[in-house]
Amino acid sequence: MSDAPLPPERIPRASLAVIGGSGTFSSRFPEDLEDPAVRVLAKNLRFDTPYGPSPLFKLFSLSAAAGEEKLVLTVKMHGRRFGVTAADASRQVFWVFQQAGVKKILAEGGVGGANHLLELRDMVVPDDYIDLSLRRDVDLGGPYLGVMRRPVCSQLAQELIRAANAHARRHQDRRVFGRGVYAVTDGRHFESVAEVAMLRRLGADIVGMTMCPEVYLAREIGACYAGLYIVVNYGEGVIREWNHADLEQIFYEEARPVGRMLLEALRRTGEDQGCGCPDLRKPTLLVERPEE
């Protein structure tokens, strides 16, 4: 049943999570990949959260080497849906991840190319961002100061880059960029010509709507975060006018390849956080205390 939200006690434990975006939206992730190592354990899981009923989650297991079973929680379209603000959707998703004990989060999505070297279907694993969204107070209320020195987990990013490169080599169908700056806008519309020109001058390579607040929320729950983004359109004023047919074709054709890259990265991802990401969450000093 997808209507009645389950109480928080029913949130399953999982150390890994995948935030699906437009890259995999047109497929059922992970079932459609028909990977024998994958077993879907539960789907259509909606939970009560302090921020309203969550989006639907799926839980699957992925068997890896030596009989190891990894548990993965996944959600579609960054948890976003009509009638729920983007801020609430993100809080619901990350609150559920926090309860589940998620340690590593892989995200994916379609983005616009701001850098004129980027082609449609190129894959980018950004290592930084510029947050131009106007969302405020998108946190879970924890007493932390998030340090955004290394917003993306370099180990997790390496697994995405490796998986995307392996896929690209096998199919000779795309390029993979292991660094780049993701500019975050609110949408839901894309940007104007002047806005894209401004983003380029600011140093953006790609433009999308989701990396923030997700990087902040991942930091707040002490989880590692990395994202794999597919260029689905040129930013306005870059290269040439993009057309909706290209966008649509990428939407339908790339869902399985992107899904395979994610699964491949998950296979090689464990719980170990020797990367140091959790150390970039500091206690806030701004706690209200009565004066003596």
Contacts with ligand HPA, residue ranges (CB under 6 A): 110-112, 185, 187, 190-191, 207-209, 232-233, 235
* Residue with smaller CB distance to ligand HPA, 128 or 191: 191
* Residue with smaller CB distance to ligand HPA, 98 or 233: 233
Of the candidates 165, 154, 92, the residue with the CA atom closest to the CA atom of residue 122: 165
Smallest separation (angstroms) from ligand HPA to the CB of 80:
12
Query: What burial class does residue 104 get, using C-beta atoms within 10 Å of its C-beta: 0-12 exposed, 13-18 middle, 19+ buried?
Result: buried
* Residue with smaller CB distance to ligand HPA, 79 or 208: 208
Smallest separation (angstroms) from ligand HPA to the CB of 259:
18
Task: For 31-50, give the DSSP string.
Answer: GGG--TTEEEEEEEE-B--T
What is the total residue count of the chain? 292
* Residue with smaller CB distance to ligand HPA, 203 or 278: 203
| CA angle (259, 220, 39) in 5-degree steps | 30
Smallest separation (angstroms) from ligand HPA to the CB of 213:
15
Smallest separation (angstroms) from ligand HPA to the CB of 189:
8
* Residue with smaller CB distance to ligand HPA, 69 or 248: 248
Minimal CB distance residue for ligand HPA? 112
* Residue with smaller CB distance to ligand HPA, 17 or 211: 211
Exposure pattern of 261-279 as b/e (b: 16+ CB <10 Å)? bbbbbbbebeeebebebee
* Residue with smaller CB distance to ligand HPA, 96 or 114: 114
Smallest separation (angstroms) from ligand HPA to the CB of 140:
25
DSSP label at residue 286? -
Whether 30 and 267 have beta carbons less than 8 Å apart is answered as no
Q: Could you tell me the sign of the dihedral formed by the alpha carbons of 244, 33, 179, 73, in that order? A: positive
Smallest separation (angstroms) from ligand HPA to the CB of 120:
11
In sequence order, which residues have a C-beta less than 8 Å from that of residue 85 and are 6 or more positions away?
Answer: none
The residue type found at 191 is E
Whether 228 and 146 have beta carbons less than 8 Å apart is answered as no
Smallest separation (angstroms) from ligand HPA to the CB of 187:
6
